[in-house]
C-alpha cells in the first residue's frame, strides 16, 4: 500500500470514527481528541485531513448519507415498490437497540445542528433527510398512490418520531409496535387507491 492509499485509508478511518462517535455522544459533547483516539490517529494529524471540526461533522453526515444510499440501492433490487418500503421499515426496526441508545443518526445530528447560529451544516443534515423523503415518495409514486410526497412525509415522520420516542423513553419495543403498524398500513394501501 503506497502513501496515497494509506492516507486515504486514514481519512476513511477518521470519517467512520466521526460518524460513530458523533452519533453516540453528539457534536458538542465530542472532542476532536475523542474522534482521533477512536480512529487511532494522532490529534495533530487530524488537521491534515480535516481543516476544522465542522468538516468532520460534514464527513460524518456524508457517511450517514452513504449508508442510506447503500440501503436504498439494495432495496431497489426488489421488484415491488411496496416490498421496498416494507424493507425500509424492517431495516429501521432492526436498528431498534441502537435507536434506543442514541436515536436516529441523521435526526439527532439535525437537531443539534439546528441550534447553531451558522446554518451551513444545518442544511446538509436536511439534505440527507430530503434524500430519504424523495426515495420514499418515488416508491409511493410507483405504487400509483396520489400525493406520494405527503405519504412519504407521513412515513419518514413516523420513523423520526418513533426513533425519538424510543430514544427518549429508552424503550426499543416502541419501534416494534410502530413498525408493525406501519407494515400493516402499507399492506392496506390499494394500488392507485384513495
Partner DNA sequence: AATGAATGAGGATTCATTCAT
Partner DNA sequence: GATGAATGAATCCTCATTCAT
Q: Tell which residue, 88, 64, 190, 188, has the closest CA to residue 136.
A: 88
Contact 175, 93 (CB under 8 A): yes
**Secondary element (H or E) of residue 33:** helix 32-39
Q: Which of 15, 23, 39, 41 binds DNA (CB under 7 A)?
A: 41
Among 3, 4, 77, 115, binds a second copy (CB under 8 A): 115
Q: Distance between CA atoms of 183 and 47, rounded to whole angstroms?
A: 46
State the residue for C-alpha cell 482521533: 36
Judged by CB under 8 A, does residue 73 bind a second copy?
no
Query: Residue 54, interface with a second copy (CB under 8 A)?
Result: no
Size of the site for a second copy (CB under 8 A): 40
* Smallest gap from residue 77 Cβ to a second copy (A): 28
Q: For residue 168, give the C-alpha cell.
A: 427518549
Q: Which parts of 93-162 are beta strand (E)?
A: none
63 vs 112 by CB, closer to a second copy: 112
User: From DNA, a second copy, none, which one binds at residue 41 (CB under 5 to 8 Å depending on kind)?
Assistant: DNA
CA distances from 42 to 14, 25, 38, 45 (A): 11, 20, 10, 5
DSSP category for residue 190: P
Nearer to a second copy, 58 or 167 (CB): 167
User: Quick one: CA dihedral 93, 97, 98, 104, positive or negative?
Assistant: positive
| 19 near a second copy, rule: CB under 8 A | no
Residue 153 touches which member of a second copy, DNA, none, C-beta under 5-8 Å by kind = a second copy
Question: Judged by CB under 8 A, which stretch of 5-13, 39-47, 70-78, 109-117 contacts a second copy?
Answer: 109-117
Residues with Cβ within 8 Å of residue 6, at least 6 apart in sequence: none
Instruction: Indicate whether 52 belongs to the interface with DNA (CB under 7 A).
Output: yes
Residues that bind DNA (CB under 7 A): 2-4, 6-8, 10, 30-33, 41-49, 51-54
Residues that bind a second copy (CB under 8 A): 24-26, 28-29, 102-103, 107-108, 110-112, 114-116, 122, 125-126, 129-130, 150, 153-154, 156-162, 164-165, 167-170, 174, 177-178, 181
Amino acid at each position: 500500500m503506497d502513501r496515497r492509499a494509506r492516507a486515504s485509508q486514514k481519512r476513511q478511518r477518521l470519517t467512520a470514527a466521526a460518524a460513530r462517535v458523533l452519533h453516540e455522544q453528539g457534536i458538542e459533547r465530542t472532542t476532536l481528541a475523542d474522534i482521533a483516539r477512536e480512529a487511532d490517529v494522532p490529534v495533530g494529524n487530524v488537521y491534515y485531513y480535516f481543516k476544522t471540526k465542522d468538516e468532520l461533522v460534514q464527513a460524518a453526515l456524508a457517511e450517514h448519507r452513504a449508508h442510506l444510499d447503500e440501503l436504498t440501492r439494495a432495496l431497489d433490487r426488489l421488484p415491488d415498490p411496496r416490498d421496498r418500503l416494507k424493507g425500509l421499515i424492517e431495516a429501521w426496526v432492526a436498528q431498534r437497540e441502537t435507536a434506543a441508545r442514541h436515536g436516529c443518526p441523521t435526526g439527532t445530528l439535525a437537531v443539534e445542528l439546528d441550534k447553531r447560529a451558522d446554518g451551513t451544516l444545518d442544511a446538509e443534515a436536511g439534505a440527507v433527510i430530503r434524500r430519504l423523503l424523495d426515495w420514499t415518495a418515488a416508491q409511493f409514486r410507483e405504487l400509483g398512490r396520489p400525493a406520494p410526497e405527503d405519504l412519504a412525509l407521513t412515513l419518514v415522520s413516523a420513523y423520526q418520531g418513533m426513533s425519538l420516542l424510543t430514544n427518549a423513553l429508552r424503550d426499543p419495543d416502541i419501534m416494534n409496535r410502530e413498525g408493525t403498524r406501519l407494515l400493516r398500513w402499507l399492506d392496506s394501501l390499494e394500488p392507485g387507491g384513495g
